[in-house]
Amino acid sequence: MTEKKRYKPLASSKYMEKTMTRYYALSQYHRFWGKPLRRPLAWVTSGAPVELLRAFKIHPVYPEQYGAICSTKKATEKLCQVAESAGYSQDLCSYARSHIGSILRPDLAPMGGLPRPDLLLCCNNICGTVLKWYEVVARLLNVPLLMLDTPYLPGEYEKHTKEYVLEQIHDMINFLEKFTGRRFDPKTLERHAGYSNEAVNLWKEIRELCRTTPSPLNGPDLFIQMAPIVVLRGTSPVVDYYRRLKQEVAQRVKEGTAAVDGENIRLVWDNIAIWSNLFSFTKMFTERKACFITDTYTGGWSMVLDPGDPIESLASAYTKVFLNRSPDFRARQLTELVRDYSADGFVMHSNRSCKPYSLVQEVIRRKVMKETGVPGLMVEADMADPRAYAEEPIRNRVQAFLETLGGI
Amino acid sequence: MGQYYIGVDIGSLTTKVVMVDGDGKLAARATGRSGYSGKDVAERITARLLEEKGLGQKDVAATVATGYGRVTYPADREVSEITCQARGIASQFGSAGTVIDIGGQDSKVIKILKGGKVVDFAMNDKCAAGTGRFLEVMAGALEVRLEDIGDLALQARGHCQISSFCTVFAESEVISHVSSGASKADILAGVCDSVAVRVASMTSRTGLDPEVVFTGGVARNKGVAAALEKALGCPLTIPEEPEITAALGAALFARDINKGQG
Amino acid sequence: MAEGNKTIVNEAVDLLLEESALKGSRFAERYPGRKAFGFFCSYWPEELVLAAGMEPLRLLPSPGNANPSELPAYSCSLVRGCLSMALQGGFKGLAGVGFAHTCDAMQCLGGIWEETMGLAGTLTVVPPVMLSGAGAGKFFENELSILLNKLGGIAGSSPGEEELSGALDLCEKIRRQVTELDGIRAKLPSDLVAAVMRAGQVMPRKEYSRALEAALPALKEGASDPGGRQRVLVTGAVLETDSLFRMIEDLGGRVVADDTCTGYHHYTGPTRPANKSPLEAIVSRYTGMAPCPCRNRGLDGRTDYLEDLAAGRKAGGAILVIRKYCDPHAWDAVTVAERLRGAGVKTLVLELEASEVAGQERTRLQAFLESL
Distance from CA of C157 to the nearest CA of A (A): 24
Distance CA C320, CA C327 (A): 13
**Please, are residues A85 and A97 in contact by the beta-carbon 8 Å criterion?**
no
What pLDDT score was predicted for residue B209? 85
Give bridge partners of residue C234 from the DSSP assignment. C258, C319
**Residue A168 covered by a domain:** yes
Query: Is the Cβ pair A89, C351 closer than 8 Å?
Result: yes
Query: Is the Cβ pair C67, B201 closer than 8 Å?
Result: yes
Q: How confident is the model at residue A3 (pLDDT cuts 50, 70, 90)?
A: very low
pLDDT digits (tens, 9 = 90+) for B166-182: 788 788 889 889 988 99
pLDDT higher than threshold 70 for residue A284: yes
ipTM, two decimals: 0.95
Closest CA to A76 of A336, A394, A385, A322: A385
**Residue A363 in contact with partner chain B when CB distance is under 8 A:** no
Distance from CA of A45 to the nearest CA of C (A): 16
- Touching A: which chains, 3+ CB pairs < 8 A? B, C
Which are the contacts of B243, defined by CB distance < 8 A and separation ≥ 6? B14, B16, B31, B215, B216, B217, B219, B220
**Residue C285 in contact with partner chain A when CB distance is under 8 A:** no
Q: Residue A214, preceding bond cis, omega within 30 degrees? A: yes
Chain C residue at shortest CA distance from A83: C334
What pLDDT score was predicted for residue A407? 67
Distance CA A54, CA B214 (A): 62
DSSP B52-103: HTT--GGGEEEEEEESGGGGTS--SEE--HHHHHHHHHHHHH-S-EEEEEE-
pLDDT digits (tens, 9 = 90+) for A374-392: 999 999 999 999 999 988 8
Give bridge partners of residue B16 from the DSSP assignment. B9, B31
Distance from CA of C14 to the nearest CA of B (A): 29
**Residue A147 in contact with partner chain C when CB distance is under 8 A:** yes
Give bridge partners of residue A270 from the DSSP assignment. A348
Closest CA to B259 of B10, B91, B20: B20
Burial code (b: 16+ CB inside 10 Å, e: under 16) for B158-192 equals: ebbebbbbebebbbebbeebbeeebbbbbbbbbbb
Closest CA to C344 of C181, C222, C233: C233
**Please, are residues B99 and B85 in contact by the beta-carbon 8 Å criterion?**
yes
**Residue A92 covered by a domain:** yes
pLDDT higher than threshold 90 for residue A28: yes
Give bridge partners of residue C190 from the DSSP assignment. none
Q: How many CA atoms lie within 13 A of A17 on its CB side?
A: 6
What pLDDT score was predicted for residue C149? 97
Q: Residue A103 sits in which domain range?
A: 13-183
**Please, are residues B258 and B62 in contact by the beta-carbon 8 Å criterion?**
yes
In this prediction, what percent of chain B has a pLDDT beyond 70? 97
DSSP C289-338: SSP-TTSBSSTTHHHHHHHHHHHHTT-SEEEEEEETT-HHHHHHHHHHHH
What pLDDT score was predicted for residue A1? 38
Query: Is the Cβ pair B125, A399 closer than 8 Å?
Result: no
Closest CA to A290 of A178, A142, A403: A403
- Find the farthest-apart pair of alpha carbons in chain A and give their distance in angstroms, rounded: 66
C chain contacts of residue B198, beta-carbon cutoff 8 Å = 67
3-state secondary structure of B241: coil
DSSP B165-187: -SHHHHHHHHHHHHHTT--HHHH
Closest CA to A296 of A351, A232, A238: A351
Which CATH architecture describes the domain B4-86+244-261?
2-Layer Sandwich (3.30)
C chain contacts of residue B176, beta-carbon cutoff 8 Å = 359
C chain contacts of residue B201, beta-carbon cutoff 8 Å = 67-69
A-proximal residues of C, 134-153, CB under 8 Å: 134-136, 138-139, 142-143, 146
Chain C residue at shortest CA distance from B175: C359
- Residue A288 has phi, psi (to 5 degrees) of -110, 25
A chain contacts of residue B130, beta-carbon cutoff 8 Å = none
Query: Is the Cβ pair B172, C65 closer than 8 Å?
Result: no
Distance from CA of C74 to the nearest CA of B (A): 10
- Touching C: which chains, 3+ CB pairs < 8 A? A, B
What pLDDT score was predicted for residue B119? 86
For an interface test with A, give the residue of B12, B64, B82, B257 to mutate (most A CBs within 10 A). B82
Distance from CA of C169 to the nearest CA of A (A): 28
Q: Kind and range of the H or E element at A406?
A: helix A391-406
Kind of pairing, strands B14-20 and B97-102? unpaired
Closest CA to C65 of C341, C327, C324: C324
Chain-centroid distance of CA B114 in Å reads 21
What CATH number is attached to the domain comprising A46? 3.40.50.11890
Give bridge partners of residue B204 from the DSSP assignment. none
Distance from CA of C363 to the nearest CA of A (A): 21
Q: How confident is the model at residue B262 (pLDDT cuts 50, 70, 90)?
A: very low
Closest CA to C153 of C125, C116, C123: C123
Residue ranges for chain C with pLDDT beneath 50: 1-2
Rounded to an integer, the average pLDDT of A292-301 is 95
**Residue C361 in contact with partner chain B when CB distance is under 8 A:** no
Q: What is the dihedral of CA C320, C322, C328, C332, to 10 degrees?
A: 30
Query: Is the Cβ pair B205, A393 closer than 8 Å?
Result: no
Instruction: For the beta carbon of residue A280, count every other beta carbon within 10 angstroms.
Output: 14
Which long-range contacts does A29-36 make (Cβ < 8 Å, 24+ apart)? Answer: A30/A59, A30/A115, A31/A115, A31/A116, A34/A59, A34/A118
Query: Is the Cβ pair B204, C65 closer than 8 Å?
Result: no
**Residue A354 covered by a domain:** no
Q: How confident is the model at residue B75 (pLDDT cuts 50, 70, 90)?
A: very high
Kind of pairing, strands C230-236 and C122-125? unpaired
Of the partner residues A375, A380, A408, the one whose CB lies closest to the CB of residue B120: A375
Q: How confident is the model at residue A2 (pLDDT cuts 50, 70, 90)?
A: very low
Query: Is the Cβ pair C104, A356 closer than 8 Å?
Result: yes
Chain-centroid distance of CA A264 in Å reads 27
- Residue A14 has phi, psi (to 5 degrees) of -55, -45
Residues in chain C: 372
**Please, are residues A266 and A344 in contact by the beta-carbon 8 Å criterion?**
yes
**Residue A287 in contact with partner chain B when CB distance is under 8 A:** no
Query: Is the Cβ pair A89, C139 closer than 8 Å?
Result: no
Distance CA A91, CA A382 (A): 11
Question: Is A72 buried (19+), middle (13-18) or exposed (0-12) by CB count in 10 A?
Answer: middle
pLDDT, greater one: B128 or A308: A308
Query: Is the Cβ pair C73, B125 closer than 8 Å?
Result: yes
Which are the contacts of B156, defined by CB distance < 8 A and separation ≥ 6? B183, B185, B186, B188, B189
Q: What distances in angstroms separate CA A60 from CA A64, A139, A341, C6, C129, one per listed residue?
A: 12, 19, 34, 63, 23
Instruction: For the beta carbon of residue C158, count every other beta carbon within 10 angstroms.
Output: 12
**Residue C341 in contact with partner chain A when CB distance is under 8 A:** no
pLDDT, greater one: A202 or A4: A202
- Residue A10 has phi, psi (to 5 degrees) of -90, 140
**Please, are residues A149 and C128 in contact by the beta-carbon 8 Å criterion?**
yes
Burial code (b: 16+ CB inside 10 Å, e: under 16) for A354-385 equals: bbbbbbbbbbbbbbbbeebebbbbbbbbbbbb
DSSP A51-108: HHHHHTTPEEE-HHHHHHHHHHTT-HHHHHHHHHHTT--TTS-HHHHHHHHHHH-GGG
Closest CA to C195 of C268, C132, C245: C245
3-state secondary structure of B218: helix
Tally of domains within chain A: 1
**Residue A283 covered by a domain:** no
Give bridge partners of residue B7 from the DSSP assignment. B18, B64
Of the partner residues B68, B106, B205, the one whose CB lies closest to the CB of residue A362: B205
Query: Is the Cβ pair A404, B125 closer than 8 Å?
Result: no
- Residue B100 has phi, psi (to 5 degrees) of -110, 120
Q: What distances in angstroms separate CA C197 from CA B47, C193, C206, C211, one per listed residue?
A: 72, 6, 14, 12
Query: Is the Cβ pair B121, A390 closer than 8 Å?
Result: no
Of the partner residues C107, C133, C333, the one whose CB lies closest to the CB of residue A168: C133
Chain A residue at shortest CA distance from C130: A149
Distance from CA of B186 to the nearest CA of C (A): 18
